[in-house]
Amino acid sequence: MTMLPLPAQKQLTTMLGHPVAENPIDRMFDAVFAHHGLNWQFWKCDIASEASLAAAIAGIRALGFAGACITVPYKVAAIPFLDEVDADVQAIGAANFMTIEAGRLIGHNNDGKGVVKAIEKVTPIAGKRVAMLGAGGAGRAMAVELAWAGASHMTLITRRQVQGEEVAATVTKASGVPAVWQPWVGEAKIPAGTQILMNATHLGCAPELESIPLDWGQITPDTTVVDVITNPRITPFLQTAQDKGLPIVDGVEMLVQLAMQIFSAWTGIAADEAVFQRAVAQALGESA
């Protein structure tokens, strides 16, 4: 009897976070892997609590994964379980992906780099005053990278004073750019003169599609409105901005920009943006 050769075991990659169900990253990466003929696969892993995080990261090492993404709420909590972190993680204090080299887990952060590329497709960052809603693991990376990209001032609007003040101090220490905390009580108040307004919270994510409690009264027509949410592409926050005629930057564009960098770090293959854009549009049901 002729024995058919069995295919090689797929090379696994993953994302650790909670929740992860609505994120299209797995379908995007799997489509890109297939496009390049790679026998790779991407798994989203919902890690329900921080108590399970150490075991999950140990599993990545033990099972020989090729790489992993880290998403909310574990971008800070994951760092002690890594073997090494790069200079960006040291400055920002959060990691959003890891490479694995000879069994060593190395943490990196390109959250902000993806955001900078996405925003600069719409408007320059240099010299702009930025206000950010939320300052979690993703928000702190974005705040630092926006400062490194030339933002002139940063306001962190959060409900937790300790978090907001700590991230503001991190931004100033890393970049020299003035950064301040502003309390978020009831409807968020946006400082006068804000030119880039970013939502770095989970408000607006599918399936809840929550509106952001925000006073739009002081937001001027030249303000660029940015959202980190990846599903849906146009959140209630961005829809309101569009209805007011404001320029917007969506979270899907940010995801594409950072995913391209992660793909190249994992595979050594130059990323083709058209392939990523097509894959994520299909994942979101935006194209056939």
Residue 25: predicted pLDDT: 95
Reported pTM: 0.90
Nearest one of 261, 259, 234 to 248, comparing CA atoms: 234
Looking at the predicted structure, is the pLDDT value of residue 2 above 90?
no
**Residue 214: which CATH number?**
3.40.50.720
116 and 105 in a common domain: no
Contact (Cβ atoms closer than 8 angstroms) between residue 180 and residue 131: no
Q: For 51-87, how does the pLDDT look when each residue is reduced to its tens digit (9 = 90+)?
A: 999 999 999 999 999 999 999 999 999 999 999 999 9
Looking at the predicted structure, is the pLDDT value of residue 241 above 80?
yes
Residue in 44, 75, 113, 128 annotated catalytic: 75
Q: Which domain holds residue 77?
A: 11-109+256-283
Looking at the predicted structure, is the pLDDT value of residue 270 above 60?
yes
User: Where does the pLDDT of residue 7 fall: very low under 50, low under 70, confident under 90, or very high at 90 and above?
Assistant: low
- 273-283 and 251-267 helices cross at what angle (nearest 10)? 120
Please say if 75 is a catalytic residue: yes
Classify residue 116 as exposed, middle or buried by CB count within 10 Å of its CB (0-12, 13-18, 19+). Answer: buried
H or E segment at 115?
A: helix 111-120
124 and 99 in a common domain: no
Residue type, 29: F
Q: For 83-128, how does the pLDDT look when each residue is reduced to its tens digit (9 = 90+)?
A: 999 999 999 999 999 999 999 999 999 999 999 999 999 999 999 9
SS3 per-residue string spanning 124-143 = CCCCCEEEEECCCHHHHHHH
128 and 24 in a common domain: no
187 and 173 in a common domain: yes
Looking at the predicted structure, is the pLDDT value of residue 161 above 80?
yes
Q: What is the mean pLDDT of residues 169-183?
A: 97
